[in-house]
Amino acid sequence: MTDQPATDQPPTDQPNEAVEPANHLAAPTATAVLKHVVRSIVDDADAVHVDAVEGRNRLKLEVKVGPGDLGRVIGRRGRTAQSIRTVVRAAATRDGVEVDVDFVD
């Protein structure tokens, strides 16, 4: 016998990789465009996180940014946020899905 603990899974030769949830792959183009646009606007690009949440008939992309950057992303009277939503919705047509973009505090 070997000294390795018994597992229910067959052994694999591939390394253990982090598996993204399936909802992150629902709109890859829209998610990539959203990340790119938001990261180019904020001061701390590494603090940008985009989470995809399945809705009833559309996908909701929730954007979280670092402290102090939310105002930059929203812009005056929400114009920047609305422009980001428009561009991401256009990119989502390439993925064949409808998306909503929410900026989360």
| Per-residue pLDDT reduced to its tens digit, 72-92 | 999 999 999 999 999 999 999
The answer to whether position 47 is within a domain reads yes
* Structural domain includes residue 33: yes
- Residue 35's domain comprises 25-104
State the total domains in the chain. Answer: 1
Task: Give residues with Cβ within 8 angstroms of 79, minimum separation 6.
Answer: none
Q: CA-to-CA distance for 39 and 22, rounded, in angstroms?
A: 23
Residue range 42-47: mean pLDDT, rounded? 95
CATH code of the domain containing 73: 3.30.300.20
Strands 49-54 and 99-104: unpaired
16 pLDDT more than 50: no
The reported pLDDT for the residue numbered 2 is 55
Residue 77 lies in a domain: yes
**What is the structure's pLDDT at 50?**
96
Q: Is residue 2 part of a domain?
A: no
